[in-house]
Amino acid sequence: MSGDFPEQAAEMLQRLRGATPRVHCLMNTVVQKPVADGLSALGAIPSMTSSVDEVSGFVAKADALVVNLGTLDDQRRQAIRLALDTVQDKAKPWVLDPAHCDYSPPRATFAQELLARGPAVMRANASEFVLLSVPDTVVGVRTGASDLVRQGERSLAIENGHALTAKVTGTGCLSGAIIAAFLAVERDAFQAATAAMLVVGVAAEIAGETAHGPGSFEPAFLDALDRIGPAEITKRARVAHAQD
Amino acid sequence: MSGDFPEQAAEMLQRLRGATPRVHCLMNTVVQKPVADGLSALGAIPSMTSSVDEVSGFVAKADALVVNLGTLDDQRRQAIRLALDTVQDKAKPWVLDPAHCDYSPPRATFAQELLARGPAVMRANASEFVLLSVPDTVVGVRTGASDLVRQGERSLAIENGHALTAKVTGTGCLSGAIIAAFLAVERDAFQAATAAMLVVGVAAEIAGETAHGPGSFEPAFLDALDRIGPAEITKRARVAHAQD
Amino acid sequence: MSGDFPEQAAEMLQRLRGATPRVHCLMNTVVQKPVADGLSALGAIPSMTSSVDEVSGFVAKADALVVNLGTLDDQRRQAIRLALDTVQDKAKPWVLDPAHCDYSPPRATFAQELLARGPAVMRANASEFVLLSVPDTVVGVRTGASDLVRQGERSLAIENGHALTAKVTGTGCLSGAIIAAFLAVERDAFQAATAAMLVVGVAAEIAGETAHGPGSFEPAFLDALDRIGPAEITKRARVAHAQD
């Protein structure tokens, strides 16, 4: 599958831009702005409210949801439960990002509770993954120096990316939101997640070619998400069958 | 009036920079930072708290207020009511921005309640405007591909601007805050709003000439707000009597 | 001491990068993202939650804490008290930044209460300093056109910096967080604070050489924090015994 995968990812990106899907983000307060900008640059439409009396209305209008557990408090926990009632009711896809659950036992417990509610994809880093038990029905995306997408026996590694990504707060959270945007246009969650991570990785690579550091990397990365086309993806893709 | 309008707008900008007005912003959490930066770049002084035990003190020290309904919750609703008590008590001008009230019926209801409390200006996009009944005492600013400023029979269209503005989260919210800054130095709300939108539009146009995408557009836009002078405004202004 | 101070500051920066200290930030909501990015660029690891059921766990894992009073509400006041219980229990250093306490009497009262709990350093501007009574055990850092570091009779002025810093929201708050990062690797709080302000000032100076305004200054400043090395610091340092 890694052979024709870049072409499929390029085609999915075109489909995403044609559809301009709405992605509702229950996002930590630190990175709401760069996540919104990243989605807009890619071609999706972000929304961000976590107000308990508004979240159901926003999620009902959205095509996909991302639930990020950073800066978690009671109000957002309540908003997340309401949002999941709505996505389950309307069978919309959603992504779980258990951000920093390795720092906070109650957050890890809550992440495990949410995994039981059936996200299409969970995105996390290695130290978050080891704490959680991920059902086979959920596609796992483990981001790091290379990104691993796995579901049961199926797995692919995406080698694209740039080291400066780790120095810009919010790039990981944005990956979760971009996976949600791809889920809005592709029902195969494994393929949607792999396409999303490939687009993010190639855009980061392009940005890294002109950046002078993490400050100039961030606007260059947004510019790349805006301009990236099928040709860059198929030319630059480095996707391999993973041996983990 | 569109004939000598650019000169008046240029003069108002100079007045604003001389006065460095304080603008308190009850702003959605996503865009507090870019709105603060945009006001500072222009020459105003932003403040942002929406804490219920502090908001009255901050508003009392401010020269104008902007109330933005994005990411609205109970605490901010309460802070907005307290802030409006203070601006009405002290006869300070304020701007209403009913952000995304088309997504959320309770937000539209709240926006209508706030319109009855007499903002000088309401800034909104077309899909928000159609939901609300705007009194003739309120100047309406409808932002979009071109910006329309209207009060009763009086209306002007500002054709300056750049398409990338729509891809950067917070530029619309910043327009509302910049209108508030102009209201602090100009009592004619129609003229203040038109000057504000002209300055924003010309700055966006200048930024668009060097930007490579939405990421590089944002810092270029802030640079342009900082450097823009009377000459650029009078030279570049494209203001027309509107036919709506 | 100002004679060999730049060498000591350069050495401290190397030590910081080797240690990659974790800095927990109880930060106003406006500038969480640029503060996180600034710490990451410098070589530290930021965290930001102010949730009352998570803050103790995060602070326990951190090497230093910064408490910033901007956009203060009841929840963050409660989180601050919990965080201080943890840092005092574990004898970790912390910085107080009484942001805008000159706008809000309850905030000034709270700042005075916090000063009694023994921060290593307080960072503030001149109008905030005059409202507060700072014990001799606390190092005071008064930021402005030049930065003054003082403890009892001991004081130094750092003349490095750039005027655009004042036009970018969050640079002052970032200074407080960077002082906390230096405290994590240097027990002498006076030296840690002076080193931090020197690194910030030199990075701002470097950024100012390529910036076209406040918008391009911010990414250039982050790039400079990432790349700045011992040679720039010792070559550019302008530190003087202060006469206040």
Chains that touch A (3 or more CB pairs under 8 A): B, C
- The full set of domain ranges for chain B reads 5-241
Q: Is the ipTM of this complex over 0.90?
A: yes
Give the model confidence (pLDDT) of B183-194 as tens digits. Answer: 999 999 999 999
pLDDT of amino acid C1: 43
Whether residue B144 is predicted with pLDDT greater than 50 in this model: the reply is yes
Q: Is C97 helix (H, G, I), strand (E, B) or coil?
A: strand
Residues 6 or more apart whose Cβ sits within 8 Å of residue C107: B54, C69, C72, C98, C100, C101
Judge whether B105 is closer than 8 Å to chain A, CB to CB: yes
> What is the Cα–Cα distance from A140 to A129, expressed in whole angstroms?
9
Q: Which residues of A touch C218 (CB under 8 A)?
A: 215
Whether residue B160 is predicted with pLDDT greater than 60 in this model: the reply is yes
What type of residue sits at position B141?
V
CA distance B34 to chain A (A): 9
pLDDT of amino acid A243: 62
pLDDT of amino acid A1: 44
**Interchain pair A214, C226: CB under 8 A:** yes
Residue C46: in which H helix or E strand, if any? Answer: strand C45-47
Which chain A residue has the Cα nearest residue C26? A71
Q: Which of A203, A1, A28, A33 is nearest to A103 (CA)?
A: A28
CB A112 within 8 A of CB A88: no
Q: Is A218 helix (H, G, I), strand (E, B) or coil?
A: helix
State how beta strands C139-143 and C147-151 pair.
Answer: antiparallel
At C3, the pLDDT band (50, 70, 90 cuts) reads low
CATH superfamily of C5-241: Ribokinase (3.40.1190.20)
**Interchain pair A106, C53: CB under 8 A:** yes
Q: Which of B175, B28, B182, B32 is nearest to B99 (CA)?
A: B28
Whether residue B1 is predicted with pLDDT greater than 70 in this model: the reply is no
Q: Which residues of C touch A167 (CB under 8 A)?
A: 37, 40-41, 226
> What is the Cα–Cα distance from B106 to B110, expressed in whole angstroms?
6
The neighbour count for residue C116, using CB atoms within 10 Å, is 10
Which B residues in the span 198-237 are in contact with C, Cβ-Cβ below 8 Å?
A: 218-227
Give the model confidence (pLDDT) of A102-151 as tens digits. Answer: 888 889 999 999 999 999 999 999 999 999 999 999 999 999 989 999 99
Sheet strands side by side (includes B121-125): B45-47, B22-26, B64-68, B94-97, B121-125, B139-143, B147-151, B154-158, B239-241
Whether residue A59 is predicted with pLDDT greater than 80 in this model: the reply is yes
pLDDT of amino acid C230: 95
Residues 6 or more apart whose Cβ sits within 8 Å of residue B103: A47, A54, A57, A58, A61
Residue with tokens 């109330």: B67
At B115, the pLDDT band (50, 70, 90 cuts) reads very high
**Interchain pair A33, C33: CB under 8 A:** yes
Give the model confidence (pLDDT) of C218-242 as tens digits. Answer: 999 999 999 999 999 999 999 998 7
Give the model confidence (pLDDT) of A80-107 as tens digits. Answer: 999 999 999 999 999 999 998 988 888 9
Q: Is B78 helix (H, G, I), strand (E, B) or coil?
A: helix
Give the model confidence (pLDDT) of B28-67 as tens digits. Answer: 999 999 999 999 999 999 999 999 999 999 999 999 999 9
Nearest CB among C34, C106, C214 relative to B40 is that of: C214
**Interchain pair B54, C107: CB under 8 A:** yes
Q: Is C123 helix (H, G, I), strand (E, B) or coil?
A: strand
Judge whether B100 is closer than 8 Å to chain A, CB to CB: yes
Q: Is B100 helix (H, G, I), strand (E, B) or coil?
A: coil
Q: Which residues of C touch A103 (CB under 8 A)?
A: 47, 54, 57-58, 61
**Interchain pair C106, B36: CB under 8 A:** no
> What is the Cα–Cα distance from C76 to B226, expressed in whole angstroms?
34
Helix and strand numbers, DSSP H then E, in chain B: 10, 9
What type of residue sits at position B60?
A
pLDDT of amino acid B244: 54
